[in-house]
Copies of this chain bind each other. A is one copy, B any other.
């Protein structure tokens, strides 16, 4: 097969709100080759991501991503790895390129899986996909009372693990945060896994994190996520060496393998969290999973959007039996919910398993997506470089 076409679909909710909910819009990617279609999703700002695919070349290391993808052979896993490497060579001065590549790379794995009639995790060398325990990923309430209610609802829903993040947390005083932490623990009960996500609001300031360590310890937090800016290795290390000790998780902001490697080597993480839709796709994510295993760091997916993104994000560590916890989007917008005809749902024991079907194992509900499709156009010197394609 050769890659015949790559199409980008900019999807959006009618109204996008100023909240930490990444499921309000989407960049869906369709790749066609050999009579088959593969689908992927970039976890990225749509316009710059599309522009990085179509932009005129600036110089030899700042080419549009299209340059390294269109017409390329696609028959084996090696072909996908080669495309990934060539994109990095040709576009390393085009910052947005990694986010653009992410959706393409996922679509290539989906397509190749359909071609060979194997799930992606098998193409990656895993014999089977082990069950994962999903944690409900939720925003903090505006008040501790709201956080308590959300926590209680999460427990009643049957989840055994819940992560609270963003919202008011980290922005006010330590005591208010502690009230939210305690409200979350009370609502969830003592047995529940509780993770806390700071969403980088402390930037590089380890002292603000230090003030919350005691209350985080008291609620037995499973991990503290992204207290600092991605790649701020110094503050992560400082915090890890501060008592009381709380396990640290981060990595969702990494847009390539070497950044994730740096975080694993020097940020004292116990959990490395990878968004397949940002790091360059499944190819780069699998490298991180391999390296994490060698280092004894637990791999966790970062997924806040659709079940397409969820399937893509689970494949790279599907075969790591001990890396059991996975992120699961609980409150995604209808756009994300309606994207796939099938869902990856928890079973009786509360676990999820990847579909045992070719590629990502899910089909796109293109009919449902039409109502979210944004008409966009990019023109340069009166020539159309991008126009919204048809489903």
Interface residues of chain A, those whose CB is within 8 Å of chain B, are 10, 12, 16-22, 24-25, 43-52, 54-64, 85, 88-89, 92-96, 98-99, 166, 199-201, 203-204, 229-234, 253, 255-256, 258-259, 261-262, 265-266, 278, 374-382, 385
9 cross-chain CB contacts under 8 A: A44-B58, A44-B62, A45-B93, A46-B56, A47-B52, A96-B96, A230-B258, A231-B258, A234-B261
Q: Which residues of B contact A45 (CB under 8 A)?
A: 51-52, 55, 58, 62, 64, 93-96
- Out of B85, B259, B378, name the residue touching A47 (CB < 8 Å): B378
How far is the CB of A242 from the nearest CB of chain B, in Å?
Answer: 19
Whether A57 touches B18, Cβ cut-off 8 Å, given contacts A51-B47, A266-B233, A381-B374, is yes
Q: Does the CB pair A20–B60 fall under 8 Å? A: yes
Whether A204 touches B258, Cβ cut-off 8 Å, given contacts A21-B59, A45-B62, A381-B374, is yes
A381–B72 CA distance with the chains assembled, in angstroms: 32
Task: Give chain A's interface secondary structure class.
Answer: loop
Q: How many copies does the complex hold?
A: 2
Q: Does the CB pair B95–A44 fall under 8 Å? A: yes
Name A262's closest neighbour in chain B (CB-CB). Answer: B233
A82–B261 CA distance with the chains assembled, in angstroms: 31
Q: Which residues of B contact A381 (CB under 8 A)?
A: 374-376
A44–B62 CA distance with the chains assembled, in angstroms: 8
Whether A47 touches B57, Cβ cut-off 8 Å, given contacts A62-B22, A95-B98, A231-B258, is no
Residue picked from A18, A85, A98, most chain B C-beta under 10 Å: A18
Q: Does the CB pair B51–A48 fall under 8 Å? A: yes
A266–B236 CA distance with the chains assembled, in angstroms: 14
Residue picked from A49, A96, A374, A382, most chain B C-beta under 10 Å: A96
Q: Does the CB pair B255–A95 fall under 8 Å? A: yes
How far is the CB of A306 from the nearest CB of chain B, in Å?
Answer: 14
Q: Which residues of B contact A49 (CB under 8 A)?
A: 48
A258–B233 CA distance with the chains assembled, in angstroms: 8
Q: Does the CB pair B48–A55 fall under 8 Å? A: yes
Q: Which residues of B contact A12 (CB under 8 A)?
A: 56
Name A27's closest neighbour in chain B (CB-CB). Answer: B58
How far is the CB of A22 from the nearest CB of chain B, in Å?
Answer: 5
A231–B203 CA distance with the chains assembled, in angstroms: 20
